Amino acid sequence: MKYQSDSITYLDNAATTFPKPECVYQAADKFYRHYGGNAGRGANPLARKGSELITETRALLAAWLGASSPEQVVFTPSATIALNLTIFGARLRPNDAVYVTPFEHNSVLRPLEHLRQTINISIHEIPFHFKTMICDLEKLKAMFRVTPPAMICATQASNVCGVMPPLTEILSLSREFQDCHCINIVDGAQTAGLYPLNLMDGLIDALIFSGHKSLYGPYGIAGLVLPNLSQWRPAPFLFGGTGTVSDSLDMPDILPSAYEVGSQNIYAIAGLQAALRWLQTTGRETIVAHTRAITSQLREVLDDIPKVVLYVPDDNMWAGILSFTVAGTRPQTIEMALGGKGISVRAGLHCAPWAHRWLGTMDQGGTVRVSLGFFNSSNEIEMLFDILGSF
């Protein structure tokens, strides 16, 4: 796979995967040239083709993520909107306790902070050991005993340091310490489908996915899976046309129409469908094995540079994301220097201030993040080493 420019070494896949598989570009281009109708808005051939495309993609996504039926998959324009839908749709009450990991993105933290300020929920940090980045489950159990959770929002993988919290153990505890149903939300934006989750055991109430990251699709398409509908579903917070039950001013109660308001981004869905077929053909095991192999190589390379401080878990359970600092040099300086050599990384707080507060990297301007994907190679790791060695 060639990049759009041979001068670019792209190591920022946590922001968005790049390049996309060639089939994604072709499918998106084909959409507007051949069947760019508006799904659900009429029975003309182009509208029907659009509806078929959405139905097929929803079924592919349900299979890839492990949902029991396609109707559990709801499309949104972004993972941020999907998180807002689930958090605000939970209709939390004053004094409800919400637990989050130290690694959450602002797409979780800011909606929760709004609820803290407006209705007085309480926000609690799930404890992790700083050096090992391992969750202290015994301490968490004690916290639940004192303050039972009404909601847990937990990332499947940190977008800063790649650590993957033990979701099954955390979410299982939530079921022990609350008479009412604790709402469990998993932010799978970084890892959706590459590290599959059990959606059949009743522990997850909403799984968030992002099309343009680990699913290798385009921008503008994301969503959530609601696998536990017998226990919980969010209240809608957007209202409008759905192309269904148009004779009623009430929002449709059926899924996914209850949440999919307005014209769908079928252009992006066409690209996502192609990406999902590519994922199936390539295989998640192949993608994960390659990404983990070059991430391990990167870790070894960075360990050999004396001034580098790495922020990674000890237990080898991390996605293809590593953060580091270089003694005496601001992360932004390193990003600019690497960019001048055609290497794309990201420096700063990565929209996850709690993670950097927890790591102790706030005052120095965050970290340099390198995030790898299927199309990265060992040669690119060696190139990065050659440049960083000069700092």
Task: Measure the CA–CA gap between 249 and 162, rounded to whole angstroms.
Answer: 45
- Give the chain's residues under pLDDT 50: 1-4
Write down the pTM of the prediction.
Answer: 0.94
Domain ranges within the chain, ordered by starting residue: 9-20+283-388, 27-280
Report percent pLDDT > 90 for the chain. Answer: 76
The set of long-range contacts for 192-197, using a CB threshold of 8 Å and a minimum separation of 24, is 192/65, 192/156, 193/64, 193/65, 193/279, 193/284, 194/284, 194/287, 194/288, 194/291, 194/319, 195/156, 195/157, 195/164, 195/288, 195/319, 196/65, 196/66, 196/284, 197/65, 197/66, 197/156, 197/167
Where does 9-20+283-388 sit in CATH, by number? 3.90.1150.10
What pLDDT, on a 0 to 100 scale, did the predictor assign at position 2?
45
Distances (CA, A) of 385 to 127, 295, 303, 309: 34, 13, 10, 14
How far apart CA 391 and CA 389 sit, in angstroms, is 6
Assign domain 27-280 to a CATH class: alpha beta
